[in-house]
Structure 1
Amino acid sequence: MAPPNNRRPGFSRRAQYGLFISYMIAGGGVLVGAVLLLLSMFNPPAYAAVRGAFSELVTPIASGLDWTRRGISSVPGGISGYFGVRGENERLRAEVTANRVLVEQARSTTLENRRLRQLLKVRDRAADPVVAARLVYSTASSTRRFATLNAGSWQGVRPGQPVRGPNGLIGRIVEVSPNTARVLLIQDPESIVPVRRLRDGLPAIAAGRGDGLIEIRSAGAAQVLFEPGDAFVTSGTGGVFPPNIAVARVRRRSRDIAEAAPLASPDSLDFALVQQPFFPEAGPTTGGARAPEAAPR
């Protein structure tokens, strides 16, 4: 026998009350939805106020539920992060131990070099600064690249002295007047600077191109591969530019001749430092040979 279509909850008061309450909630929801729909159609400002009130009531509850959800979902990540931190700590400890060995080796090498220098009586030369002057003019749009300093012979500036900025080499002095000096920039086609590659000491020549860039050419080896980011510093060869001044950085990968960008741009500098040459030229001797004393009669 088929069951009847109209199912009643029977004589259970709880079931009857539950069914009645569900009907009331459904009817109330339909009524509230209809009221809100009519309110949004005929009175949008009032509907916006009601919506804002509901948002104010619902937002703290939603925030609390979201915080609870995030806290529960972060438990597995916290556990895995704990074990990951332990592994990372072990790796860092091993790295510190290996670095300690390298530091001890470097320290012993430094001490050995110092002892050998003392035995050989080797003395490091340092280029003394002459004056800090303002860069008042630079030819950025011409094929010849020059700059002008507001310091000259009255301030101790002489031709051949190197000029550098905080980021690297700028050029060298070529002309001097009492209160101004002309600087040949390293981007000029007539500029040639002996350099070396920073990562392996490869000797090279940095020559200006006249378009704001520099060409790096190997000074000895052939088929040299230049990688992007290779940094070049002055080598001290020639006795003009002191060693270890930043010059340029290679822009793209190439072989034999690399295109590099200078690290110091005179167009963005206000001041520059004029230094003594690394090996200044020897001046004329003032003392001649001592005259022999007259023989007594």
Structure 2
Amino acid sequence: MSYILAIAGAVVGTVLLVLSQFNPPAFAALRAATSELTAPVSSGAAGVVRGIAAVPETIGTYFRVHGENAALRAEVARTHQALVQARIIVRDNRRLRGLVKLRDVTPQIVATARIVSSSAASTRRFGVLNAGRWQGVRPGMPVRGPDGLIGRVIETGPNSARVLLATDPESVIPVRRIGDGLPALAAGRGDGMVEIRSVGTANASFKPGDRFVTSGTGGIFAPGVLVARVEQAGSDSAPAAPLAHPDTFDFAIVSAPFLPPPPPPPPSARSSTSAAGITP
């Protein structure tokens, strides 16, 4: 069989050689037909060869990509931690800058104290400062932070003070609306919100986004301190969110009342009223 195939191959080669010499057009047509028949087989074989040759490279690429993926995941984790730390630093920096600015513009600062605790579960809203009578803190003094008014001092100890927060139901703060100066009262609701109530104006309308500041009426709170922002539209009254949250910053500023209390009458006046039988 081998001899037969060898002789047949030699004969076919001789015929093709003679054909290419004496009839080139016929040989070209035969060559083109042979190429058409063998091209698919050659393409498939070349694909198989390339696939087999690419196996080592694919394996190496897999391990390389796996390692790079692990390194990138670790880098993303480190970057995320750095981003969180940067956000914390930026927030603390903004809060401290606001506190420094507040100290610069607030007259008669009594003490800068740390808010050590605040009530959150009860309907009453109180905060505790780590400054008291020894630091000059007295009942009735307003307490504020970088974002706005917190409340006022109601009790003092040697080194601590209790603050009635603006959201407490017993808290009522005279305010005015930024823009038109509409007078109102910011009354605490006991649920972390305040209620803005109109004063002396019938059918006063409130819309979301209205901001209110202290008006200075009453002589305790200095005018112009941010208090609350209206959340829902209302007529004569509307719920509002306080702009200062004691649980979002560490320090607060205790300042003297906007208008000091009237001085006591002189002794001569007291003695004269007592002699006349009139109680002062």
The question of a shared fold, defined as TM-score above 0.5 by the shorter chain, is answered with: yes
Match of 1:254 in 2: 234
Match of 1:36 in 2: 47
Q: Are 1:147 and 2:127 an aligned pair?
A: yes
- Greater radius of gyration (CA): 2
By how many angstroms is 1:284 displaced? 2.0
By how many angstroms is 1:255 displaced? 2.2
Match of 1:264 in 2: 244
Q: For 1:75-99, what per-residue CA distance to the aligned partner results, in whole angstroms no more than 9, with x for missing partners?
A: xxxxxxxxxxxxxxxxxxxxxxxxx
5 Å-filtered alignment, 1:142-291, equals: 142-285=122-265, 288=268
- Give the whole-Å Cα distance in 1 for the aligned partners of 2:190 and 2:235: 21
Q: 3-state SS of the aligned residue for 2:197?
A: strand
% identical aligned pairs:
56
- Give the whole-Å Cα distance in 1 for the aligned partners of 2:44 and 2:261: 96
Q: For 1:87-114, what per-residue CA distance to the aligned partner results, in whole angstroms no more than 9, with x for missing partners?
A: xxxxxxxxxxxxxxxxxxxxxxxxxxxx
Q: 3-state SS of the aligned residue for 2:46?
A: helix
- Structure 2 CA distance for partners of 1:48 and 1:277, relative to 1, 3 Å: same
Q: For 1:32-53, what per-residue CA distance to the aligned partner results, in whole angstroms no more than 9, with x for missing partners?
A: 575235644x56624748x99x
Q: 3-state SS of the aligned residue for 1:35?
A: helix
- Structure 2 CA distance for partners of 1:37 and 1:283, relative to 1, 3 Å: farther
RMSD value, Cα: 3.5
- Higher helix proportion: 2
Match of 1:57 in 2: none
- Structure 2 CA distance for partners of 1:28 and 1:155, relative to 1, 3 Å: farther
| Segment drifting more, 223-232 vs 28-37 | 28-37
Q: Kindly indicate whether the alpha-carbon contact (under 8 Å) linking 1:36 and 1:47 is maintained by their aligned counterparts in 2.
A: no
Q: Are 1:130 and 2:127 an aligned pair?
A: no
Q: Kindly indicate whether the alpha-carbon contact (under 8 Å) linking 1:127 and 1:277 is maintained by their aligned counterparts in 2.
A: no
- Give the whole-Å Cα distance in 1 for the aligned partners of 2:259 and 2:192: 28
- Give the whole-Å Cα distance in 2 for the aligned partners of 1:28 and 1:275: 94
Q: For 1:124-173, what per-residue CA distance to the aligned partner results, in whole angstroms no more than 9, with x for missing partners?
A: xx741111011111111110001111111111111111000111000001
Match of 1:63 in 2: none
Aligned residues: 197
Q: Are 1:45 and 2:55 an aligned pair?
A: yes
Aligned residue type for 1:45:
V
Match of 2:66 in 1: none
Q: Kindly indicate whether the alpha-carbon contact (under 8 Å) linking 1:39 and 1:47 is maintained by their aligned counterparts in 2.
A: no
- Structure 2 CA distance for partners of 1:176 and 1:31, relative to 1, 3 Å: same
- Give the whole-Å Cα distance in 1 for the aligned partners of 2:163 and 2:117: 10
Match of 1:76 in 2: none
* TM value normalised by structure 2: 0.61
Q: For 1:227-247, what per-residue CA distance to the aligned partner results, in whole angstroms no more than 9, with x for missing partners?
A: 211111101011110001010
* TM value normalised by structure 1: 0.58
- Structure 2 CA distance for partners of 1:273 and 1:35, relative to 1, 3 Å: same
- Give the whole-Å Cα distance in 2 for the aligned partners of 1:31 and 1:153: 98
Q: 3-state SS of the aligned residue for 2:253?
A: strand
For structure 2, the residue ranges without an aligned partner over 5 or more in a row are: 1-34, 63-105, 270-280
Q: 3-state SS of the aligned residue for 1:236?
A: coil
Q: Name segments (4+ residues, structure 1) moved above 6 Å.
A: 27-30
